[in-house]
């Protein structure tokens, strides 16, 4: 199965509609696809929104302007269809789940601020230097690896900066890269397939791949 086909499994994976074999195949794809990992980080909130949204509110959101019913099914019908299609072919299910994920994301944009609190990081590390450089990294444990939120100041103001994650076996993975800002400040989010418990260190490197800051994870 090619990368494009695997990407279409995203909606089904988020909603738990893949069988064990396809779930394992998609999780293997996540280790090599940064774009899918970042998209999953957004869509993984969809099941929680579905659970939290009251059925009457969901029905109201499916109504078209003017009070007429929209062609989309009401939530109760939607979940019934979801259960039925889990027993049908993978292609039909993947297309349906992708549409559900998109619809739920739209609902999340409307009611998310009322229902979802900002997730708390599983670990936070900071490093500072005498020259004023300061880097704070929040790490969040994900099923596919680790999400890293970087907040830095007094960083190099030229070139391309990158964040590298090293595991306890000595392997490295580039979590993200960005163009340096004139102010030396940055807020950026990266992702790595390395699980949080396996991370031994995180390095911020400049365009010459010299370590600007190193955080050792105990």
In this predicted model, what pLDDT tens digit does every residue of 36-67 receive, in sequence order? 888 877 776 665 555 555 555 555 554 545 55
Domain boundary among 81, 115, 149: 115
Domain boundary among 60, 81, 115: 115
In a shared domain, residues 128 and 111 = no
Share of the chain above pLDDT 70, in %: 62
Domain boundary among 54, 88, 115: 115
Q: Is the pLDDT of residue 130 over 60?
A: yes
The Cα 60–Cα 75 span in angstroms is 10
pTM exceeding 0.85:
no
In a shared domain, residues 67 and 161 = no
Range of the domain at 197: 123-216
The Cα 162–Cα 87 span in angstroms is 44
- Which of 166, 171, 173 shows the shortest CA–CA distance to 33? 173
In a shared domain, residues 140 and 88 = no
């Amino acid at each position: 199965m090619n990368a494009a086909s695997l990407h279409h499994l995203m909606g089904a994976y988020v909603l738990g509609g893949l069988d064990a074999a396809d779930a394992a195949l998609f999780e293997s794809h996540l280790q090599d696809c940064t774009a899918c990992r970042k998209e999953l980080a957004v869509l993984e909130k969809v099941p929680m929104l579905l659970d939290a949204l009251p059925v009457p509110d969901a029905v109201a959101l499916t109504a078209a302007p003017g009070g007429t019913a929209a062609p989309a099914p009401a939530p109760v019908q939607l979940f019934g269809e979801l259960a039925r299609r889990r027993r049908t072919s993978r292609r039909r299910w993947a297309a349906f789940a992708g549409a559900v994920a998109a619809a739920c994301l739209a609902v999340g944009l409307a009611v998310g601020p009322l229902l979802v609190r900002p997730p708390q990081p599983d670990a936070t590390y900071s490093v500072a230097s005498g020259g004023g450089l300061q880097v704070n990294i929040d790490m969040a444990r994900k099923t596919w690896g680790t999400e890293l939120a970087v907040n830095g100041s007094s960083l190099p103001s030229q070139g391309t900066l990158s964040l590298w994650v090293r595991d306890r076996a000595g392997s490295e993975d580039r979590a993200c890269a960005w163009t340096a800002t004139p102010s030396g400040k940055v807020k950026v989010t990266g992702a790595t397939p390395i699980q949080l418990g396996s991370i031994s260190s995180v390095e911020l490197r400049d365009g010459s791949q010299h370590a600007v800051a190193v955080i050792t994870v105990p």
